[in-house]
Amino acid sequence: MKFTNCVVVLILFLGTVVAWPIVGIGVQETDSKKESAQTDEPVLNAEKPQESKEDKFKPVDNMHHFMEYISKPSYMELRKILAKEKVSRGEWKKVKQHSLILSETSKLVSERGPADKDQNAEWKKLAFETYQQGAALYKAAGSRKLEVAVKHYGAMMDACNQCHKKFDPKNHQLAK
């Protein structure tokens, strides 16, 4: 190797050795800058109460409209189909649809009970009963067992009516 070539290689080598830590520090710096940028925006604002995402799901309307627009149409459809002696494939799908609506929305109902502790516990118990019987009805519809389905539909309606007897000012007693 010629002397000049040796010098060029040496300069390149030294250049890399010197530049390496500088580049490294640069990377670290931008990382720590990012962190401090994040901490500049307070994650925990002491003046604002902490609010989880779930808390933002406020009821859209009152219990009356919940029952009228969500529970009632599903109940009426179930009542019509389960009074039949024979239920078609398409009707079983509808039973699944409406029992799923009534069981899953029982969770939402359960969260909207009265403030009083004992009354709230009673409310939750009846919403849970609706949920359990609705879920059992959904399962029976999946295996198309009419007798089992009718039994759970009846028990679910008992739970609906028990809650109405206790908490509905008009005490709607829904016919099975």
Binding site for ligand HEC (CB under 6 A): 63-64, 67-68, 71-72, 75, 102, 109, 123, 126-127, 130, 156, 159-160, 163-164, 167-168, 172, 174
Q: State the nearest-atom distance from the C-beta of 54 to ligand HEC, in Å.
A: 20
Of the two residues 33 and 172, which places its CB atom closer to ligand HEC in the complex?
172
CA–CA distance, 25 with 3 (Å, rounded to integer): 34
Q: State the nearest-atom distance from the C-beta of 118 to ligand HEC, in Å.
A: 14
Enter the tokens of residue 65.
Answer: 């409209």
99 neighbors 134 (Cβ within 8 angstroms): yes
DSSP secondary structure, 9-54, as one string? HHHHHHHHHHHHHHHHHHHHHHHHHHHHHHHHS-SS-TTSPP--GG
For residue 174, give the DSSP letter.
-
Q: State the nearest-atom distance from the C-beta of 130 to ligand HEC, in Å.
A: 4
Q: State the nearest-atom distance from the C-beta of 134 to ligand HEC, in Å.
A: 7
Of the two residues 33 and 72, which places its CB atom closer to ligand HEC in the complex?
72
Of the two residues 35 and 116, which places its CB atom closer to ligand HEC in the complex?
116
Q: State the nearest-atom distance from the C-beta of 165 to ligand HEC, in Å.
A: 10
Q: Count of CB atoms within 10 A of residue 129's CB?
A: 18
Of the two residues 8 and 174, which places its CB atom closer to ligand HEC in the complex?
174
CA–CA distance, 76 with 137 (Å, rounded to integer): 15
Of the two residues 91 and 168, which places its CB atom closer to ligand HEC in the complex?
168
